[in-house]
Amino acid sequence: GSVIGVLGGGQLGRMMTLSGAAMGYRFITLDPTDASPCGQIAEQIVADYSNQDAARELARRCDVITYEFENVDAEVAALLEKESYVPQGSKLLYTTQHRLREKQAIEAAGVPVAPYREVKSAADMEEAVEALGVPCVLKTVTGGYDGKGQRVIREKEAALRAYEELGGSSVELVLEQFIPFTCEISVVAARNPQGEIKTFPPAENIHVNNILHTSIVPARVSSELQLEAQHLASQLAESLQVVGLLAVELFVTEDGKLYVNELAPRPHNSGHYTMEACTTTQFEQHVRAICGLPLADTTLLSPVVMVNVLGEHMEEVVDRFSGSDLEAEELGIAAKLHLYGKAEAKTGRKMGHINLLCHDVQHALMWIEKTNIWRNQNS
């Protein structure tokens, strides 16, 4: 097929379009916001994601359909599967849009997750805190992102308040043991319909205010742990019969254990480093996978640090990138800016990212410090 439909018109769809266009594919996105980041460079059907007529039109005009977020309406997903070709399938969405189903699927693949309990009532909540101990983390089962819909509970007395704050018995909740991680890493895996699987090198992720701030590659963990994380991601992609990308977020503990935190069945912010640092980008790999092409090489060509550009960083970033960057030159860094074409630079909104190609990730981290653009931020 030569026309790819993308449900969702955000930056992930945009970067998928940029990669896929270079491979000769045409893209049509469905998104409610006119001139969405993806719609600026692809054709766009302007409609809500749950609009069935719009979904039908997308199905009619496209040979292959993919999505760039996991909260696709179940009915729309079923409709698209019936009327077009959705290689990723609705089953993967069904699993990954629900934390409990996701954890069960991870366990079924033989991959460790933090101990957890389903919480359906105040009594469940008390029992769960008793069983798991503090600290622990209460999360809504659906809809959470960037740390929204979760509360860390540090003492038992605070449990019921957190439960009420997140919606109590009116929402589905899950309580997880808090994993005292030494770092967080992620692996993007790809699988095609022929069953071929490839993984990208793990990224070490630093969050600020629960939003991804930097991804550091190679991750500063042993090469054994990196291989193990890649192996677990492959195991998950195989067990879930993924077609396309599967991003796997993991915790690393002091004694070198890995626990999967969550999955995303799509390109991932922590995989943006691949755009300059790998032979193949995560976006090209996704397009290859959903189009049934052989997967391409994922070799890391250079150490790299990716730093996100949020609304509050925009002015200074644009300023900095309009002139020569002596600090980068001194540190032997190539700083590559990617912008998503979003009009309003709201605080906390992801406007773009910078890939800092370097000889040593420490140099890139130094550049981030020195520019002062990300000051006043503690992880």
Binding mask 247-266 for ligand ATP (x = CB under 6 A): --x-----------xx----
| Shortest Cβ 57–ligand ATP spacing (Å) | 30
| Cβ-based nearer residue to ligand ATP, 272 or 320 | 272
Could you give the C-alpha distances from 377 to 211, 366, 368, in angstroms and in order? 11, 15, 12
| Residue 137 contacts ligand ATP per CB under 6 A | yes
- Show Cβ contacts of residue 19 under 8 Å, excluding neighbours closer than 6 positions: 281, 283, 284, 286, 287
| Shortest Cβ 112–ligand ATP spacing (Å) | 12
Stretch that binds ligand ATP, among 60-68, 79-87, 139-147, 320-328 (CB under 6 A): 139-147
Annotated binding residue at 181?
no
- Show Cβ contacts of residue 163 under 8 Å, excluding neighbours closer than 6 positions: 119, 122, 125, 138, 173
**Do the beta carbons of residue 270 and residue 253 sit within 8 Å?**
no
Stretch that binds ligand ATP, among 2-10, 140-148, 233-241, 299-307 (CB under 6 A): 140-148
- Show Cβ contacts of residue 117 under 8 Å, excluding neighbours closer than 6 positions: 124, 127, 128, 131, 132, 174, 175
Binding mask 142-181 for ligand ATP (x = CB under 6 A): --xxxxx---------------------------x-xx--
- C-alpha dihedral, 11 to 303 to 366 to 269, nearest 10°: 20
| Residue 182 contacts ligand ATP per CB under 6 A | no
> Among 121, 210, 279, 299, which residue interacts with ligand ATP (rule: CB under 6 A)?
210
- Both tokens assigned to 164: 């009420």
Give the distance, in angstroms, between the CA of residue 370 and the centroid of all CA atoms in the same chain. Answer: 28
Annotated binding residue at 179?
yes
| Cβ-based nearer residue to ligand ATP, 151 or 320 | 151
- Both tokens assigned to 215: 């991804």
Annotated binding residue at 177?
yes
Give the distance, in angstroms, between the CA of residue 9 and the centroid of all CA atoms in the same chain. Answer: 15
Peptide bond into 267 cis (omega under 30): no
| Cβ-based nearer residue to ligand ATP, 307 or 328 | 307
The terminus-to-terminus CA distance of the chain in angstroms comes to: 44
Binding mask 257-296 for Mg ion (x = CB under 5 A): -----x----------------------------------
Stretch that binds ligand ATP, among 56-64, 141-149, 334-342, 352-360 (CB under 6 A): 141-149
Q: How many CB atoms sit inside 10 A of residue 376's CB?
A: 7
What does the binding site for ligand ATP look like in residue numbers (CB under 6 A)? 114, 137, 144-148, 176, 178-179, 184, 207, 210, 249, 261-262
Summarize the annotated binding site for ATP as residue ranges: 99, 139, 144-150, 176-179, 184, 207, 261-262
Binding site for Mg ion (CB under 5 A): 249, 262
